[in-house]
Amino acid sequence: MRGLPLIVSVGGVLAISACARPQPVHGQAYYLTHPSERTAAIAECKNNPGELEKTPSCISASSAAADFERKRFWAIKQPKSRLASPGSL
């Protein structure tokens, strides 16, 4: 009979922890359009890499950050149109 209160209390703790709301999982497109949440998610993933590194949110956030940097790096200024003055270079 002594073990019954222990089992009930452990079961109660497990039941309450199971009711915790999971964090929403966002895709790469979401993180591309929400830069503040992208940086917050990346910071959270870097603070706890052992548990969060392989989660879908961390993968999506880091992928979106890489895609954003790639697009920013390869952004090339378009040359002026030659149609405005066809004889000049």
Mean pLDDT for each consecutive 10-residue tract of the chain (89 residues)?
A: 65 57 81 93 91 90 93 78 70
- What does the pLDDT read at residue 8? 61
Q: pTM of the full predicted structure? A: 0.60
Nearest to residue 57, comparing CAs of 68, 45, 65, 48? 45
Q: In angstroms, what CA-CA distances link 42 with 24, 50, 67, 77, 82?
A: 15, 14, 14, 30, 44
Q: How much is the pLDDT for 76?
A: 77
